[in-house]
Amino acid sequence: MNILITAASTAQAYQLLGLLGLENNVTLADSFDLPAFMLKNKKFMKIPSGDSGTFAHELLTACLDLGIHRIFALRPAEVRALAEARTLFSEYEIDVMVPPLVLLAKLEMKSGPGTIVIKDPGTGHLSLPEGADYGVFLVNEEGTDSHVSIFTTS
């Protein structure tokens, strides 16, 4: 499966890359400037900022050109934009690994200590909230209560 991970300039992208274990099928992308030598490699690409009004459409075009079937967005603005565009991507059989909009309002977005859990329809985790059909979550089960957040760069 061809996968796209955003926020290529961050440690979180490489944490997720290591967890997926699919280096040969992964393209890393970022809206931040990447060194020129990275952009010459077909496994790295420049994308617009998640705040851009054209972000979802430009990313969809790139995914179709590269044969991407699954996107992991790691910057909060990208997560919000792709949550709004999940239906559009699903029409092209591209899984957007972000939770639905209703969960975005309930969960904070952050990185930090805890276990990274990738949720898709074929997997589950007892600590994840109801309605979490897709996404990358950070589960911290220290203490008496577990705390779940959306795994992002901040």
Q: What is the DSSP string of 57-98?
A: HHHHHHHHHHT--EEE--SHHHHHHHHHTHHHHHHTT-EE-S
Higher pLDDT, 119 or 74: 74
Percentage with pLDDT > 90 across the chain: 55
The whole-chain average pLDDT of the chain stands at 89
Residue 120 is part of which domain span?
A: 3-151
* 86-98 pLDDT per residue, tens: 999 999 999 999 9
Structure confidence at residue 93 (pLDDT):
97
Number of domains in the chain: 1
Q: What average pLDDT does range 99-125 have in this prediction?
A: 87
For 27, the 3-state DSSP assignment is: strand
Q: What does the pLDDT read at residue 133?
A: 86
Within 8 A by CB and 6+ apart from 16, the residues are 5, 72, 74, 116, 136, 151
More confident residue, 46 or 146: 46
Is pLDDT larger for residue 88 or for residue 22?
Answer: 88
Domain containing residue 64: CATH number? 3.40.50.20
Per-residue pLDDT at 16 exceeds 90: yes
Which strands form 109-110's sheet, in the order they lie side by side? 109-110, 147-151, 135-140, 115-119
Residue 44 confidence (pLDDT): 87
Range in 4-18, 20-34, 52-66, 89-103 the model is least confident about:
20-34
Of 2-16, 95-109, 122-136, the poorest mean pLDDT is in: 122-136
Cβ–Cβ under 8 Å, residues 97 and 135 = yes
Total-model pTM: 0.90
